[in-house]
Structure 1
Amino acid sequence: MDGVRRLPRGRHALSPEAVAEAQRDRLMTAMAQVMSEKGYVKTSVEDVIRRAVISRQSFYRHFTSKQDCFMAAFRRSTQVLEQRIATAASGDGGPVERFERALADFLEALVLDPASARLCVSEVYAAGPEAVAHRTDFQRRLGERMAAMLEAGTEAGQFACQVLVAAIATMVAGPLATGEQEALRALGPPLVEHVRGLKAAGLI
């Protein structure tokens, strides 16, 4: 199955905890994959367990509902993205250089795992208020991280970073929906130049 790792057949040395963790991971991956193909509303628990090759009983051992599985997959994806951005932004270079590295790594993460990316971007509103609240908080944290990265010292500059994060989220939605990987990567250079201009003008 694409991206869904099966446990080894027969006897193995995995602990019960490791087996449970692997099953949970497979279910979250399957949720992202099926939902990216069918959309949140049309995705069923049966679809997810069939893709993950896990029993219904095992699904409900880990999650209480489709919504619970979706939120777990959503939180996992946003955590991975935040960590990638933080790692890419660390190290040498000025504010714009750090932003450029972080943006390039963020866009590459979307290219490499489009199913999880669509889960974060495209299906949130269909998943309901809990998902919308998590996305809102995620974007707020990214805005704060961007403000620190770009050394935005004023309230106006910090607000500009929040606006920029929201704009990037909107801009990636189209290429993600159509599977245009190069269009995602192509967003990087003009965004970097835009931020460079904002920084030079003292707007961030």
Structure 2
Amino acid sequence: MTEPRRLPRGRHALSRSEVDRVHRDRLCGAMAAAMAEKGYVATSVEDVLKRARVSRQSFYGLFSSKLDCFMAAFDQASEFLRLHLQDTIRQAAVGDAAERFERAFTTYLETLALDPGYARLFLVEVYAAGPEAIRRRTEVQHVLAEGLADLMGVTGETARFACQIVVSAVSTMVTPAVAEGDMEALRAVGPPVIEHMRLLLRSGVLDG
């Protein structure tokens, strides 16, 4: 993700909503950075404030709790991933299903690798944050599965369910590398998954 915007020093012409947006982005980025180092459970609001250089008053003006800030950061990570995949899917209309999957999956891995802190938040720490975070993660998984099915042009119930299985399996496979902060290991997941998808397509599992 892009570096959070800093407020200019001294007097500035930013509106209250613009200031809040800057603070919100900085706090979400600080949450991801703190958890990459300490994990969700050990991360405190104070840890986030120190990294964001935002006052406690500003924090609680935007978020009700550490979990509330986490969920905002999770939503940012989800949206960042969605937009990158959306752009790729728009450009992936040409080629066969295997080629479309390869482009989309490569984008998925590279997007995670762009910001290991947000990737860890999205894939690892979400399970430590509790039931609401896990529910939100499940919703995102479903959206990704639906997007994969649309990308592959499948409409049948069995084939669309197979896409859910693929998304769940991929999540399980990439999580250890993200947990270790090993982006090369993360990228290494790509070739075998892409080859397996080609086999699935040849077998007809994802037809219709």
TM over 0.5: yes
Amino acid paired to 2:162? A
| Equivalent pair of 1:4/1:52 in contact (CA under 8 Å) | no
Q: Deviations over 1:134-156 (max 9, x none)?
A: 00010011111101111223222
Alignment of 1:37-186 (within 5 A): 37-91=37-91, 92-186=94-188
| Equivalent pair of 2:4/2:26 in contact (CA under 8 Å) | yes
- Say which is worse superposed, 63-72 or 180-189, in terms of deviation: 180-189
Gaps of 5+ in 1: none
Q: Deviations over 1:174-200 (max 9, x none)?
A: 111112111111211211111111111
Query: Distance in 1 between the 2:149 and 2:10 partners?
Result: 51
Aligned residue pairs, count = 203
Identity among equivalent positions (%) equals 52
Query: Distance in 2 between the 1:55 and 1:28 partners?
Result: 14
| Equivalent pair of 1:89/1:99 in contact (CA under 8 Å) | no
Give the equivalent residue in structure 1 for 2:193.
191
Q: Deviations over 1:4-39 (max 9, x none)?
A: 543121122322221110001000110111011111
Query: Distance in 1 between the 2:161 and 2:46 partners?
Result: 43
Gaps of 5+ in 2: none
| Equivalent pair of 2:27/2:69 in contact (CA under 8 Å) | yes
- Say which is worse superposed, 2-11 or 146-155, in terms of deviation: 2-11
- 1:39 is paired with a residue of what secondary structure? helix
After superposition, the CA RMSD in angstroms is 1.4
Give the equivalent residue in structure 2 for 1:7.
7
Q: Deviations over 1:72-129 (max 9, x none)?
A: 1101111111121121122322222121111111101111101011111101121011
| Equivalent pair of 2:4/2:22 in contact (CA under 8 Å) | no
TM-score (norm 1): 0.95
| Equivalent pair of 1:4/1:30 in contact (CA under 8 Å) | no
Query: Distance in 1 between the 2:4 and 2:50 partners?
Result: 11
Amino acid paired to 2:139? D
Query: Distance in 1 between the 2:199 and 2:86 partners?
Result: 23
Query: Distance in 1 between the 2:122 and 2:9 partners?
Result: 33
Amino acid paired to 2:173? M
